[in-house]
Structure 1
Amino acid sequence: MGNTTLKRSLGLWAIVGLGLGYMTPTIVFDTFGIVSEETNGVVPLAYLTALMVMLFTAISYGKMVQVFPSAGSAYTYTRETMNPHLGFLVGWAALLDYILLPMVNALIIRIYMVSVFPSVPAWIWVVTYVAAVTAINVWSMGKTSNLNSLLVVFEIVLIGAFIVLAFIKLSQGMGQGTIFTTDPLFHSNVQLGAVLTGATVVCFSFIGFDAVTMYAEEAVDKKTLPRAIMLTVFIGGAIFFVAGYFAQALFPDISGFKVTDDTLPEIGLYVGGTLFQLIFLAGAFAATVASGLASHASVSRLLYVMGRNGVLPKRLFGYVHPKFRTPAFNVILVGVVSLLAIAPSLELISSFINFGALIAFTFVNLSVIAYFIFRQKRYKTGKDLFSYLVMPILGAASTGILWANLQADALIGGIVWVIIGFFYLLFQTKFFKIKTADFAFEDADRNTSL
């Protein structure tokens, strides 16, 4: 293995593209039925609520990635600013969402393909998709980025086509019968608790802005990471809000849908007919593949950093392929886990994802306070107090509110996952008698990259 390092090949827009690909903008249509039922018909309000929460946290990510320009995200920041053991537990919790998201993409592909080819066994689509995504990720991060960018552009064009068709349908009297209406944002039956619960469901759609920090060691210029984070949040949030608004205006309730677990195929059919449904499914397919490529790459790099730090077996998880310069073992492992998408439901898996994501978001905000306030003593001016104390407290509090509104299954499953991680940590450290391996961040930049 030697001094083989990850290859620096990603520019600003390549990283933003990976973030948007990870977020899968068309997911707004997949989860529309679930969120509309949960919020009583205010899907765009749920996205707006989640966006405001994400903005606070995105600012904190931008601060921390400048201090610690290493892959690892929340795991790295907590480990270095608070405690290595706590960092491991945060990283372990984050693994729950990172490692399950590739499975969600495989699951969505399964749903799409079964809807078009119901006579073909579902497992064939899962195995074929997972094998292709795994192979591309092992081969090259650059190739992954280029393919991802093409797919993201395609899906954004398709969302634009949906908005145009929705505009026409609303003008013709479908749904609310008007283009400009406040009902998708507020009506007499809106309840705060329901909106917050809906926001916890859609917040997993934003997972992607934080995942771009995983590419810190593959960015041509690591200084672009904060800009990439904010651009990913704003662009992704705008797409979710606008698409959610038009979908909710067209479908004030979900009584007309036959399948509410994934409403995208029916939305395409009702808005544009059979031909547009097929094109819309093609765009959604492209979006899901883009997300699969990006999410697969991100979790592989989190596992790589945890392996490099010695908290996971270094020989396997810290391995970088000498020719492809990718964490090949981790990529293949994530592919194997993704094969489990043959069985579960979208709603169940997405709820588990949110548990790990919200814990990671909370601790990134707390890491800002730990580093800048307690370590750097940056509290002597009003500006510093606002930037390094007030803003991250608001970020941590808002993610905490969403965390408290998670579904019971997600809370129970997530807590069990963290307990498993805690016992692994006890074993790894011999009941905290030894420290987890230290890692100097400058090592990654001292080594020559091709």
Structure 2
Amino acid sequence: MSGTNTLKRSLGLWAIVGLGLGYMTPTVVFDTFGIVSKETNGVVPLAYLAALVVMLFTAISYGKMVQVFPSAGSAYTYTRETMNPHLGFLVGWSSLLDYLLLPMINALIIRLYMESVFPDIPSWIWVVGYVIIITAINMWSMGKTSSLNSILVVFEVVLIAAFLVLAFNQLSNGMGQGTIFTTEPLFHSNIHLTAILTGATVVCFSFIGFDAVTMYTEEAVDQKIMPKAIMLTVLIGGAIFFVCSYFAQALFPDLSGFKVTDDTLPEIGLFVGGSIFKLFFLSGAFAATVASGLASHASVSRLLYVMGRNGVLPRKLFGYVHPKFRTPAFNVVLVGAVSLLAIAPSLELISAVINFGALIAFTFVNLSVIAYFVFRQKKYKTAKDIFSYLIMPLIGAGLTGILWYHLHIDALIAGLVWVGIGIVYMLLLTKFSKSKLSDLHLEEEDTRASL
């Protein structure tokens, strides 16, 4: 990495919101539709609504904390600085799980897309080819600008709008529920709260990215716009997810017509608009997934570099910078190697495991608001303070905790094993000394700066 970079404050409100939406990849609602529909027994939009409520409370807490720590907008930093270094480390370690697996998710989705178009070609070829290309680009460094991201987001939105028009037409002609206005996607006799909450844990994966908006604080023309940017990202993304899942659920009350339920986007495009629209739909989703793959691969590589540079991970390996390309070469290759595991797993399992780390992070963002404002700043003397700094984050933490409780058992086991490894590693790293851990900074530098 090229020393310390001074980032230019050039991003306005809507540029930041666009970056957040690009990271969220709105078309993912169609990828996971089959998984969530099966999980919720046909009320996907209700699962998104439940997740949106949780995300709104957490977004409010992010908005508060990003103003206190404007240069490091991450849950582990908040926890470390407001509560305890050991607890902060474990929150950071848990968050690292979803950072590491997100590039793998993108590789997995690309694999499923290509399988739908070229079913006779072995799936491992797509994963290996994709990972090699993404790894090579990141090795040489990647310049990701807000203008390029905006083009990709606009492309996605145009295709989503086209889907809604076609869906409107198909429903009017009797497909699915045969009507545009129906309560079936939101309520019917055979639904259960536990199933909805379990589905909400899966779709939380779709919202991952709104928290990444905090990383743009140092590049915002005015850091005061950050809380608004976070909230707008969640609201706009949530609205897209809800509307799209409503129309998809109205069109497909059950999954009997799908050949592949692990990623339903290709078949949704085919059934709604025919072969030509399927190709356009896939092309937009493909471009969005590749862009997200580049960003997530670069992000975790830089995060691992910062951890190596600060001594949290072995410095010689993770803190290594390639002398020619000025990139964290070891980390880039390591993330690529992890992404190769996308040859085998299902989207359902990996997205659930990702949510383990994300939900823990979201829980502690809410708790950090209480720790900082109530316990440190003593802001509990007025009704407004109590509501803003105690009740609201408590509700956010509680709701996030409920979703965490309803994670798939396999994801829960995998996540707890990961946390257990983190505890052992932390004890070995610090030799049980709190002061030694306090000297180590598990911080996330701006991952978009060119290395």
Matched, 1:426 2:403: no
Q: Give the Å deviation of 1:135.
A: 4.2
Structure 1: 5+ residue runs without aligned partners? none
Q: Give the Å deviation of 1:137.
A: 4.2
Structure-to-structure mapping, 1:117-136, within 5 angstroms: 117-136=118-137
1:153-177 Cα distance to aligned partner (Å, 9 max, x none): 2111111100000000000011111
Distance 1:127 1:14, change over 3 A: farther
Distance 1:367 1:219, change over 3 A: same
Distance 1:5 1:334, change over 3 A: farther
Structure-to-structure mapping, 1:51-70, within 5 angstroms: 51-70=52-71
C-alpha contact 1:93 1:359 (8 A) present in aligned 2 = yes
Alpha-carbon distance in structure 2 between the residues aligned to 1:25 and 1:130: 22
Alpha-carbon distance in structure 2 between the residues aligned to 1:114 and 1:313: 39
**Which residue of structure 2 lines up, in the alignment, with residue 11 of structure 1?**
11
Alpha-carbon distance in structure 2 between the residues aligned to 1:323 and 1:7: 22
Q: Give the Å deviation of 1:320.
A: 6.6
C-alpha contact 1:41 1:252 (8 A) present in aligned 2 = yes
AA aligned to 2:175 is M
Alpha-carbon distance in structure 2 between the residues aligned to 1:141 and 1:217: 19
What is the DSSP-based 3-state SS (H/G/I as helix, E as strand, rest coil) of the residue aligned with 1:436? helix
Distance 1:98 1:314, change over 3 A: same
AA aligned to 1:167 is F
Distance 1:101 1:170, change over 3 A: same
Distance 1:433 1:246, change over 3 A: closer
C-alpha contact 1:75 1:87 (8 A) present in aligned 2 = yes
Please identify, of 68-77 and 433-442, the stretch whose mean Cα deviation from structure 2 is larger: 433-442
Alpha-carbon distance in structure 2 between the residues aligned to 1:421 and 1:439: 15
Alpha-carbon distance in structure 2 between the residues aligned to 1:220 and 1:127: 40
Structure 2: 5+ residue runs without aligned partners? none
| Identity among equivalent pairs (%) | 79
Structure-to-structure mapping, 1:407-426, within 5 angstroms: 407-426=408-427
Q: Give the Å deviation of 1:67.
A: 1.0
Structure-to-structure mapping, 1:356-435, within 5 angstroms: 356-432=357-433, 434-435=435-436
Alpha-carbon distance in structure 2 between the residues aligned to 1:308 and 1:352: 27
Distance 1:114 1:435, change over 3 A: same
Alpha-carbon distance in structure 1 between the residues aligned to 2:77 and 2:442: 10
C-alpha contact 1:152 1:290 (8 A) present in aligned 2 = no
1:243-287 Cα distance to aligned partner (Å, 9 max, x none): 000000101111111111111111111111111111111111122
Distance 1:368 1:252, change over 3 A: same
AA aligned to 1:99 is L
AA aligned to 1:76 is T
C-alpha contact 2:307 2:442 (8 A) present in aligned 1 = no
**Which residue of structure 2 lines up, in the alignment, with residue 185 of structure 1?**
186
**Which residue of structure 2 lines up, in the alignment, with residue 31 of structure 1?**
32
Structure-to-structure mapping, 1:42-81, within 5 angstroms: 42-71=43-72, 73-81=74-82
Alpha-carbon distance in structure 2 between the residues aligned to 1:338 and 1:6: 31
AA aligned to 1:291 is S
C-alpha contact 1:4 1:325 (8 A) present in aligned 2 = no
C-alpha contact 1:214 1:301 (8 A) present in aligned 2 = no
C-alpha contact 1:21 1:294 (8 A) present in aligned 2 = no
Distance 1:449 1:201, change over 3 A: closer
What is the DSSP-based 3-state SS (H/G/I as helix, E as strand, rest coil) of the residue aligned with 1:200? helix
Q: Give the Å deviation of 1:225.
A: 2.9
**Which residue of structure 1 lines up, in the alignment, with residue 355 of structure 2?**
354
1:179-233 Cα distance to aligned partner (Å, 9 max, x none): 1111111112221111111111111110000122234445554444323211211
C-alpha contact 2:98 2:353 (8 A) present in aligned 1 = yes
**Which residue of structure 2 lines up, in the alignment, with residue 155 of structure 1?**
156
What is the DSSP-based 3-state SS (H/G/I as helix, E as strand, rest coil) of the residue aligned with 2:436? coil
Q: Give the Å deviation of 1:96.
A: 0.9
C-alpha contact 2:92 2:442 (8 A) present in aligned 1 = no
C-alpha contact 1:71 1:301 (8 A) present in aligned 2 = no
State TM-score, norm by structure 2. 0.91
What is the DSSP-based 3-state SS (H/G/I as helix, E as strand, rest coil) of the residue aligned with 1:143? coil
Alpha-carbon distance in structure 1 between the residues aligned to 2:63 and 2:328: 25
C-alpha contact 1:8 1:449 (8 A) present in aligned 2 = no
Indicate the RMSD between aligned Cα atoms, in angstroms: 2.8
Distance 1:97 1:341, change over 3 A: same
C-alpha contact 1:184 1:245 (8 A) present in aligned 2 = yes
State TM-score, norm by structure 1. 0.91
What is the DSSP-based 3-state SS (H/G/I as helix, E as strand, rest coil) of the residue aligned with 1:336? helix
AA aligned to 1:249 is A
AA aligned to 1:128 is G
Alpha-carbon distance in structure 1 between the residues aligned to 2:307 and 2:353: 21
Q: Give the Å deviation of 1:311.
A: 2.0
AA aligned to 1:264 is L
Structure-to-structure mapping, 1:33-432, within 5 angstroms: 33-71=34-72, 73-137=74-138, 139=140, 142-143=143-144, 145-219=146-220, 221-314=222-315, 316-318=317-319, 329-432=330-433
Alpha-carbon distance in structure 1 between the residues aligned to 2:263 and 2:3: 46
